[in-house]
Amino acid sequence: MKKVKVGIAGLGRLGKLHAGNLAFHIANAELTAACSIMPAELEYAKNELGVTDVYTDFDEMLAKADIDAVAIVTTSGMHCAQIAAALDAGKHVFCEKPLGVDLEQCRQAEKAVERHPELAFFLGFMRRFDPSYAYAMEKVKAGVIGKPYMVKATGIDPEALVQGAIRFAPTSGGIFIDMAIHDIDLMRWFLGEDPVEVYAAGATFKHPEFKDANDDETGVAMYKCASGAIGFVHVGRTAPHGYHVETEVVGTEGTLRISPVPEKNLCVIYDKNGAVKECVSGFPERFAEAYLKEMEEFINCVQEGRKPEVTVYDGTKSTQIAFATTEAYREGKPLKIEY
């Protein structure tokens, strides 16, 4: 079968990772073009990825490059416009989360996807492709824990990276929009329904700079669904031990816990500090396999004419929930979530 030719837009922190997977690790994909507004990143594409067909303008890449699909890994505010332009140009689309930065943009992306049922649209909620999360979902589907009625999802960035988070805080949209979107997606995925009510709060005890940016270093949100099922999301930026992503799914017959200790690997170091298990340092390390698997699935969907499991509507819903959470946090009271 013919390889899927892909053009990537955005070669920043995550773009480089996706580009490396497409160029070197996915047998039925070929990275043939790259686009970035940063000249140094285009040099990277040429020198490190062997991609010579490079662009500083996204629309020009769509018009001129020999590509079947695009991977959009640009700044979040660009996603929806680029999704629509790429689909209208007849390209299959992989797009990083979040779908958009406001509801209006998300609706535009929905319309573009609806205009092109012949094309694949894939949204990068990669945690669903992490082997442990995928395994947990298999157990849920097999009925091992009965009916799931509560999800507790935690996502805390390593304190080692806190200065970057402080610099980004004034433009991040707040901790729930910036950080909670993956946890919200997991809650919806495991519960199989959307929350209709949210209460949220935040706290800052270590880095007052977050308060200066009208934000907090820790955020918690509690959600209630129409069935009575409950979600609890805890996000933060000050995990001293590493990158802590943990999820608990509680059902009528049992509980699943995914990554209660964010272990780096199976090695235990016995030394003067005791028996030490090191932790993962950040998202590229923790979810390396998930990023590869999600991109493989995208390419397979394109080749086989299949529709990806995560839809554009999942993107809109998670964005809506993150915004409602921010509103509840700012108002300091429970809010109904309207869809």
Ligand X SMILES: NC(=O)c1ccc[n+]([C@@H]2O[C@H](COP(=O)([O-])OP(=O)(O)OC[C@H]3O[C@@H](n4cnc5c(N)ncnc54)[C@H](O)[C@@H]3O)[C@@H](O)[C@H]2O)c1
Half-sphere CA count of 29, side-chain side, radius 13 A: 30
Q: To which H or E segment does residue 251 belong? A: strand 244-251
Candidates 13-21, 25-33, 114-122, 195-203: pick the segment binding ligand X (CB under 6 A): 13-21
Q: To which H or E segment does residue 17 belong? A: helix 13-20
Residue from 28, 52, 75, 255 binding ligand X (CB under 6 A): 75
Q: To which H or E segment does residue 318 belong? A: helix 312-331
Residue 165 lies near ligand X (rule: CB under 6 A): no
CA angle 182, 200, 318 (to 5 degrees): 30
Residue 185 lies near ligand X (rule: CB under 6 A): no
Candidates 4-12, 24-32, 102-110, 327-335: pick the segment binding ligand X (CB under 6 A): 4-12
State the Cα–Cα distance between residues 118 and 7, nearest whole angstrom: 19
| Cβ proximity to ligand X, 190 vs 283, nearer residue | 283
Site for ligand X in 239-298 (CB under 6 A): 283
Here's the x/- map for ligand X, 16-45, by CB under 6 A: it reads as: -------------------xxxx--x----
Minimal distance, residue 107 CB to ligand X, in Å? 18
Q: To which H or E segment does residue 184 belong? A: helix 181-191
| Cβ proximity to ligand X, 283 vs 298, nearer residue | 283
Distances in Å between the alpha carbon of 114 and those of 46, 120, 123, 329? 35, 11, 15, 33
Minimal distance, residue 54 CB to ligand X, in Å? 11
* Residue ranges binding ligand X (CB under 6 A): 9-15, 35-38, 41, 58, 73-76, 78, 96-97, 124, 126, 283
